[in-house]
Amino acid sequence: MRSLRFNAIVMRTDQTHRRDVVRSRGFSPLAALLVVIFPAGCSSSAGGNHATARGLRIATLNLAHGRAVSPFQSAVPPDRLRANIDLCADVIARDNPDIIALQEADAPAVWSGAFHHVDRIAKRAALPHVHHGIHFDQGLGPIRVAYGTALLSQQELKLPTSLRFEFGHLHTKGFVSARIEHAGRPLIVVSVHLTSGSAAVRRQEVNVMVEALAKVDAPIVLMGDLNSQWKNENDAVRLLAARLRLRAFEPDSPGQLTFRAGRPKIRIDWILIAPEFEFVQYRTWTDLVSDHLGVSATIRWVE
């Protein structure tokens, strides 16, 4: 088995946070109300047999630093930030993924309540295996700002790797990856956040990802906020799909919009899977827990 090793010239390994945390799963009254108000998202099914017993349940959500639909997390009171993160955890628990990818996922940071968002979600949603990569880290102590991407899983995350894109921007992005198993076979799961400000920078980030992930020896499931629509051949999501031999669920469909939550007009949050997999179900959430809508899917090995 070949481990995930990356070219340090292209990218520098950033800080990582990996911890096993456990808490019994449960819903708060607020989450129960949410289930009543938003019983389902935009759901589609694929394939002939829709039974999910043999499928892997996956999901992705940009946490928006806990601000929900507010424009600035620094303007949200700490108790409201905690309530927002708890609501994210309750919605994740309701969706019950085997593994979820998170973006804009904060360590204790002055602008987002000074508590660990990822650990709090992992405990509340009973996802005991955590791999958190810090892609932006500035300041010290009480004035620190630190966040990145994460994977939360019901099974052990092996060979965890966290890498930050090095393009000199103030708010750097990156991705984390890990190896899991499904039905006795290995796969690599990735949580990624590409920059929002520049299509040219996104293409550079794609180049870095392709160089790194082309070296893995197992099928890839890539999830996250790509800040890219499926329009032109040089759009980041299409480049990733083509160069890593991944595919999206109905990429040309006008549905499955994810941003901005409330009145989404574009689809920038994606789940891309290797050809060894097929989609069984695919759903865009309607829960207003972030300025992005979450996305979940059930996938299975192609027989």
Q: Which domains does the chain have, with CATH numbers?
A: 12-301 (3.60.10.10)
Residue 43 C-beta-side C-alpha neighbours within 13 Å:
11
How confident is residue 30, by pLDDT bands cut at 50, 70 and 90?
very low
Using an 8 Å Cβ cutoff, are 235 and 259 in contact? no
What is the tens place of the pLDDT at every residue in 37-62?
Answer: 344 456 676 643 333 457 999 999 99
Nearest in space to 99 (alpha carbons), one of 158, 15, 165: 158
* pLDDT for residue 121 is more than 80: yes
Q: Which tokens is 255 given?
A: 């549905």
Rg (CA), the chain: 18
- C-beta of residue 140 within 8 angstroms of C-beta of residue 95: no
User: pLDDT-derived band of residue 195, with 50, 70 and 90 as boundaries?
Assistant: very high
Residue carrying structure tokens 């790509």: 226
Counting residues of the chain whose pLDDT is more than 70, the rounded percentage is 82
Do 271 and 246 form a contact (C-beta atoms < 8 A)?
no
Q: How many angstroms separate the CA atoms of 179 and 126, rounded?
A: 20
Place of tokens 């309607």: 286
Q: Above 80 in pLDDT, residue 213?
A: yes
Give the integer Cα–Cα distance in Å for 73 and 113.
9
| pLDDT, the chain, mean | 86
Model confidence pLDDT, tens digit, residues 220-275: 999 999 999 999 999 999 999 999 999 999 999 998 999 999 999 999 999 999 99
| Cβ 141 vs Cβ 123: under 8 Å | no
